[in-house]
Structure 1
Amino acid sequence: MFRQKQDTKPTEITFERVKGYYLWLIGKYGDYTAKTLMQKANTLFKEDTSFNEKALSHLIERGIVDDRRYAQRLTQNYSEKNIGPNKIKQKLYTKGFSSHIINECVTAIETTDEGYLDKALQIKIKKFGNLPIEDEKLKQKALRHLIGQGFSYSVANKAIRHSSYED
């Protein structure tokens, strides 16, 4: 009824096979950090990992894998979604970027404290309304929410005290 799978000889791990795997991942799922690609290849090709680093270096030299470019694009996307700088740093860190690249990308965002205040105000108004928050419990809840979105305490506090009628 069911055919048994014939014993197939495992394919040999070569430079071209590892490089093809990296290109397949990038083509199918988009950009990856070099660290993530290396982890995936080490998992799949655990019998012989000698080609993993060579293939990754080859792709980095050709500009196919570029952590800085990928981090800059992610930083820009997160910035447009009204996420604060601390949350952006956290998200980039979990993606596997180095702290040097993360700091470089976050400082490159052309947003000042007023820009972050505007973003924090948008979130505060959307969730808590236009008026300044006077109730202490609600104020603490709003502060936790804005700080959780990656804004500094000072920016979050200014947003909570802000009234749209002051403009």
Structure 2
Amino acid sequence: MYKKKASPKPQEISYERVKSYMLWLIERYGDYSAKKLLQKANLLFKDDTQFNEPALNYLIERDIVNDLRYAQRLTESLTEKNIGANKIKEKLYSKGFSSATINECVSSIETSDEDYFEKALLLKVRKFGEAPIDEIKLKQKALRHLIAKGFSYAIANKAVGYSPEEE
């Protein structure tokens, strides 16, 4: 009834094909870290990976792929959200950045402990109310919530025990 299509001949893997695939990914989906781009290329061109590294190096030389620039932009957008430095580090690590790049970006954040305290307090008030939490189970739940959002234990504990009447 239906004619079966002949299976298409697999395309030959070449340097130009790998490079154009990487450029297509960047154009279509935005920036990628070098590690993630190489992972995607290795996944698609798993039969012959000899062109993946040279194609990536070409993009890095032309400053099309720049891990530091991408990580800094990502860090800036994440600092605008109500999350702490530890969560920012975790998200950057999951994107495939090196620890040196992550540390450089996180250290460039111009927020003090007081700013993080304000963000943690905002999250605590939004979820648990303004009153300081004295009940042990609720306090543990609030601490877990704030620590999961990337705040240090000291800042989370300070936010959970904070009462507006203290000032």
Normalising by the smaller structure, the TM-score range is over 0.9
Aligned to 1:46: 46
Aligned-partner residue type, residue 113 of structure 1: D
Deviations 1:68-127 (A, max 9, x none): 111111111111111101111111111111111111111111000001001001100100
How far has the Cα of 1:66 moved from its partner?
0.9
How far has the Cα of 1:135 moved from its partner?
1.3
Aligned-partner residue type, residue 11 of structure 1: Q
Aligned to 1:93: 93
Aligned-partner residue type, residue 162 of structure 1: Y
Unaligned residue ranges in structure 2 (runs of 5+)? none
Distance (whole Å) between structure 1 residues aligned to residue 49 and residue 13 of structure 2: 9
User: Which residues in structure 2 correspond to 1:135-154 (within 5 Å)?
Assistant: 135-154=135-154
Distance (whole Å) between structure 2 residues aligned to residue 148 and residue 122 of structure 1: 15
The two structures have a TM-score, normalised by structure 2, of 0.95
User: Which residues in structure 2 correspond to 1:6-155 (within 5 Å)?
Assistant: 6-155=6-155
Deviations 1:29-79 (A, max 9, x none): 111111111111111112211111111000011111111111111111111
How far has the Cα of 1:163 moved from its partner?
1.8
Identity %: 65
Aligned-partner residue type, residue 151 of structure 1: F
* Backbone CA RMSD of aligned residues: 1.2
The two structures have a TM-score, normalised by structure 1, of 0.95
- Where 2:165 maps in the other structure, the secondary structure is coil
- Where 1:165 maps in the other structure, the secondary structure is helix
What number of residue pairs does the alignment pair up?
A: 167
Unaligned residue ranges in structure 1 (runs of 5+)? none
Aligned-partner residue type, residue 57 of structure 2: S
Distance (whole Å) between structure 2 residues aligned to residue 7 and residue 133 of structure 1: 66
Aligned to 1:162: 162
